[in-house]
Chain A
Amino acid sequence: MKKEIPIFIVFFIGTIGFLQYFIVGPLSKSVYTLLLEWFQGVQGMAIIMAVISLTRRHFHNLKRGKNVFYSFVTLVSLYGMIILGVFFGIGKGSTFDKIYEYVMVPLNATTFSLLAFYMASASYRAFRARNLESTLLLLSAFILMIGFTSFGDIISDKLPSLAQWILDVPNLAAQRGITLGIALGILATSLKIMLGIERSWLE
């Protein structure tokens, strides 16, 4: 029953959610509203579960002496911010706000900004016109990289339009194919989960 009940709930809610989309009327609307309310509640619970799971995991690490420093920092950051936010406020000028603005934002932005340097180094070393496919890729990259910068407008006013055309036509065709594939995959996986064929989420 430990597996059957969750599968039944998934099948029941999934079927209702699917059917109500195609049924118009007050009953369908009220069922939909009810589902949305539950959805919000379940999402809230998911966050609580995530915090509990994270805490347990890092307490376990601390007990076993594994990655002690990282686990300590994670727990102090998590609970430190919760305590600061709940007891001392999150308004402008609060400690919570200062930590966010002067610690989290610069750290996060710096980590991402480093990508530009590594990308430049990696493309210089690896981006070679070895065959037809890589040459086409290289040419499109050049047109997009230059076309979407101000240098594109300086070289020719047609270059930004050409870069836009690459996005609008070849990119669009490929993206649509990929998107359709993903959508069909999601549909198949959803059906497998609803029908209990795919059960890995229960483990």
Chain B
Amino acid sequence: MSLIDRLLNIPRFVIFILIGLAVFIPLLFKFLLPLKVLKPVKDVYDFIESLPEGTPVILSFDYSPDVLPECYPMSLVLAKHLARKKLRIYIMTLYPAGAGFALDVYNKILKEFNLVERKDIVFVGYFPSIAATILGIGEDIKNVFKSDYFGVPFDEIEAFKGVKNYEDIKLIITISGAAIPESWMVYANGRYNANVAAGVTAVMAAQLYPYYRSRQFIGLIGGMRGAAEYEKLLAAHNLATKGMNSISLANFVMVLLVILGNISYFLKRRRRK
């Protein structure tokens, strides 16, 4: 077997090992690679910064564990920003498997920022009907958030005082690996003119750019990079920054493999001629 043939037929296990190492090695070391903050992420940050203290904001965990590595870091960093700005945070989920992460982030920021439960932050749980829930909040949150996740009725929750619908809720942040941000955009922004920001997986980001450009999303956080950029803005380097190092190296290895495959392919084609 010639060298070209060998390069064209690298065994699958070798590629798997290379990718595995590229992902694993950066996790062992603590270092910061340069990262430029792009406009879609900066827009979300700036919008949150512009909100006055006590403004109600929805943070919706619309994802399941399969997209956990990308979505969880952005959930955490966004929740931290909202808590740092002392906004009134309504945590919810439109995905059945999202409740676990929502609860986890809820507990973490409750403790870290010494927030008062049901006053500064409230976890309203999971809602099965996406369109009906989003539209329902636009009419009257009382009809949707009948109680919080722990069963405390609506009227006893201080965080809901004086809040009726999207006119009072100044921002909705949806974090997802599926099409739920589009539902928020269509129903909450389209019908009620609500401000919606989306945090999505890198794959989904390309699909949502048209809506960001048309300002139907006020900002867009795309994948691990978006989350790492946000961590940089908050100067709170955490999971996304670490993950970004791994992704950078894995992508680099992937590009090298594709280049190698193409060089061998062209050499072989030339030889045949």
List the interface of chain A (C-beta within 8 A of B): 29, 32-33, 36-37, 39-40, 43-44, 47, 91-92, 97, 100-101, 104-109, 111-113, 116-117, 119-121, 123-125, 127-129, 138, 141-142, 145-146, 148-151, 153-154, 157, 160-161, 164, 167-168, 171-172, 175-176, 179
Contacts and interface: CB of A to CB of B under 8 A. Distances in A.
Contacts of B248: 149-151
Interface residues of B, dominant DSSP:
helix
Contact of A128 (B103, B128, B225, B262): B262
Contacts of B68: 105, 108-109
Contact of A116 (B34, B64, B223, B250): B250
20 contacts: A37-B143, A39-B132, A43-B128, A44-B129, A91-B150, A108-B65, A108-B68, A109-B65, A112-B67, A113-B69, A119-B254, A120-B16, A120-B253, A124-B261, A142-B258, A148-B225, A149-B225, A149-B247, A151-B252, A172-B213
B260 A124 contact: yes
A146 B255 contact: yes
Given A36-B135, A113-B69, A121-B12, A150 B209 contact: no
Interface residues of A, dominant DSSP:
helix
Contacts, number: 151
A44 B23 CA distance: 42
A100 B252 CA distance: 34
Contacts of A109: 65-66, 68-69
Contact of B64 (A44, A108, A149, A160): A108
Interface string B8-21: 00101001101110
B1 interface: no
A94 B170 CA distance: 35
Contacts of B69: 109, 113
